[in-house]
Amino acid sequence: MRGPETTQTAGFTAADFTGVLVVTLDRPPANALNRSAIRNLAALFADLTEMREAPPVVLTGQGERFFCAGGDIKELEQAPQQELDARMREFHTLLVAMDRYPRPVISAINGHCVGGGMEIALFADTVLAVHGARFGFPEINNGLLPADKGIQRAARLLGARTAKRLLLSGELFDAETALEIGLVDVLADPAELVAAAVVSAREAGAKAPVLYSALKRSVNDSDDSRDEVSLHRTLGSAAEYFDDPVARGLRDSWNGSRTRGGQG
């Protein structure tokens, strides 16, 4: 399916499918998020929120293997602490913007959805996924941590015990398990995924916007003070693990294995 008025921005493309904006993460080979992609996505949601008639949004990934492999760790090689701080601030801003977006957000998970990709999926209103998708928070095994706001959303959406198991083990799990624990709402065939997500977005978008927005606001229960606390937790934890020798060793080992395997 092709949409008119396609625009390319660093990190993603956006296409208008008759009133539904399909945003496709596009950073081969794994759609990993660097700072510019994170910043541009956050700006997109902020700009759309200011529109008089903001559209429903579908988020998906380019290709067949990855929705999003999380943050681009190569960007942090030899980078100072301030670089990590800036990226975590910007990712927190993205999650806040998604959390407060008043219109439907549908994630169409076309492949691996891990780390920061998993957090993005948690802030969608509905999640569709292909049967071969894989999910998880592998950060603990890779010398990193998710954003605190993403951790809190995982605990609220999936339940504290399930979130704790996933976060503390770093295990990856399949789409059927994601459906069982409530992360995914619908499983779809790859050829039908985006079309099904557009239909879902269009149906949700047909609801009275003022009512949809109010209900979403109450369910998400966004709060400035909690978000500020969450940001400070994220930055405090990043400061602790950035130079920690064990965490650094895990990052170096993971990055080395990715490089040898040809994955960016």
> What's the pLDDT tens digit per position in 139-181?
999 999 999 999 999 999 999 999 999 999 999 999 999 999 9
81-99 vs 35-49: helix crossing angle, rounded to 10: 30
pLDDT of residue 2: 46
Distance CA 248, CA 226 (A): 29
> 3-class SS at 125?
coil
Provide mean pLDDT across the span 194-214.
98
Q: Are 65 and 30 in contact (CB under 8 A)?
A: yes
Distance CA 34, CA 11 (A): 8
**In the chain, where are the structural domains located?**
7-191+209-260
pLDDT of residue 258: 59
Distance CA 88, CA 42 (A): 12
The answer to whether residue 180 is catalytic is no
Tokens representing 202 are: 């269009």
pLDDT of residue 158: 98
Distance CA 146, CA 139 (A): 7
Catalytic residue (one of 50, 53, 139, 171): 139
Q: Give CATH for domain 7-191+209-260.
A: 3.90.226.10
Q: What are phi and psi of 50, to 5 degrees?
A: -80, -10
Tokens representing 119 are: 């957090």
The answer to whether residue 77 is catalytic is no
pLDDT digits (tens, 9 = 90+) for 83-137: 889 999 999 999 999 999 999 999 999 999 999 999 999 999 999 999 999 999 9
User: 133: number of CA atoms within 13 Å, CB side?
Assistant: 37
Catalytic residue (one of 50, 64, 83, 119): 119
pLDDT band at 1; cut points 50, 70, 90: very low
